[in-house]
Amino acid sequence: MAYIDNIVFALLLAAGVLFFVRNVKKLVRNIKLGNPVDRTDRPSDRWKQMFLVAMGQSKMVRRPVAGILHVIVYLGFIIINIEVIEIVIDGLFGTHRVLSFLGGFYDFLIASFEILALLVLVSVLVFWVRRMLVRIPRFWSKEMKGFPKNDALYILYFEMVLMSLFLLMNAADVNLQQAVGVANNHYLRVGSFPVSQFIAPLLQDLSYQSLFLIERTAWWLHITGILVFLNYLYYSKHLHILLAFPNTYYANLDPKGKFNNLSSVTDEVKMMLDPNADPYAAPAADSEAAPDKFGASEVTDLSWVQLMNAYTCTECGRCTASCPANLTGKALSPRAIMMKTRDRMEEVGKIIDKEGAFKEDGKQLLGDYITAEELWACTSCNACVEECPVNIDPLSIILDMRRYLVMEESAAPMELNSVMTNIENNAAPWQYSQQDRLNWKDE
């Protein structure tokens, strides 16, 4: 029978890992749909940024209550899952608490896991109260309907169940270790249980067979839940658990507000402003060739970093809560920009899965997902970029799509078109000739 359990566990583990690898490959493929961009400069600054922001949670703790609770859940997720190593070994080889040979250090580990599990349970409960009872406004914006709203709750319930199963498993184990006169010595007296020892008395009157059934059931449900959670990540905003590290490493290190110029356009402007320039001169050998499209109207026009940003979005809403356009009732929500980009990317990915390559479906990111009204509502203040706890840059997507509207569609607002026309004709935003630009000094 034991061998059957080991085989079943091996098959379950293999299925979970293979499905996870399949989803990771699909994720990488979708991100690579974006255009190349070089983010390999200043590696020391990038490593520092990743450790501070992704691992150190430096931007999360700016809001102390939510930040500290998130750190607890984050540490709990990382540290408690060290226990998965032991579960996998036990499941494959039919052992029980195989790492108990570590002695006192093992006792310390189990005690730490239990305390963290309790702290995670409390933190998750507080998160649920904040979301469902206090109803913090950023969790109830118009884009947080249907699955986006339920996704956050699913994860909270997942974590509650996984931590509860861990403590229940240990509580049953405590009673099994203390059983007297039992021929089966499978349950050795190992581990330290500062939390589950208070749950154990609730089970002490049960028979050995009942305790064994509870312990094994909790064990199987716990590891199955972990594998299900692992594979749910791809479909969830909690993909940031994995992507926060590369996303912060490859984040833009340039000063906020720095706008990248197309060399093909810059050359034209220089030629226009230089009275001695030869309009028929050949372009410089190292000049950038004119792109097929100025700006972005589809996810494939964005860079791979921007697409990774969309997958990394935690949907926490800090960007939208700090957006002045959103606060004044405009249509723009930086969080919605990232969510819509991810939705369109997923749709493109499904077409590739079905057809083998992307085929036009009559839709695109601009217009069908993100409206021009949203884009022009942005004040380019960078508040969303500053607030994001994992260094996502919604503004870069907004600016690239604006560039498309202006340079490809000539679809800028009338006021902006007037300014740009004046700059083109008069080299100034005002509607008078260059010869009159200094007349103000005579007034």
Residues 6+ positions from 225 with CB-CB distance below 8 Å: 158, 161, 162, 165
Q: What percent of the chain has pLDDT over 70?
A: 93
Structural domain boundaries in the chain: 2-249, 263-434
DSSP bridge partners of 35? 303
Residue 421 predicted with pLDDT over 60: yes
CATH number belonging to the domain at 263-434, selected among 1.20.120, 3.30.920, 1.10.3470, 1.10.1060:
1.10.1060
Give me the torsion for CA of 297, 248, 30, 23, rounded to 10°. Answer: -150
Q: What percent of the chain has pLDDT over 90?
A: 54
**For residue 2, what pLDDT is reported?**
57
Concatenate the DSSP letters of all residues of 333-351 into one string.
-HHHHHHHHHHHHHHHHHH
Range with the lowest mean pLDDT among 21-30, 41-50, 202-211, 390-399? Answer: 202-211
The mean pLDDT value of the chain amounts to 87
Closest CA to 334 of 430, 412, 246, 398: 398
**For residue 74, what pLDDT is reported?**
84
Residue 124 predicted with pLDDT over 90: yes
Average of per-residue pLDDT across 273-277: 69
pLDDT in tens, 348-370: 999 999 988 888 888 999 999 99
**For residue 186, what pLDDT is reported?**
55
Average of per-residue pLDDT across 327-346: 95
**For residue 268, what pLDDT is reported?**
73
For residue 367, the SS3 value is helix
Residue 189 predicted with pLDDT over 70: no
Closest CA to 340 of 307, 318, 373: 307
**438 vs 14, higher pLDDT:** 14
Q: Which of 68-77, 191-200, 321-330 has the highest mean pLDDT?
A: 321-330
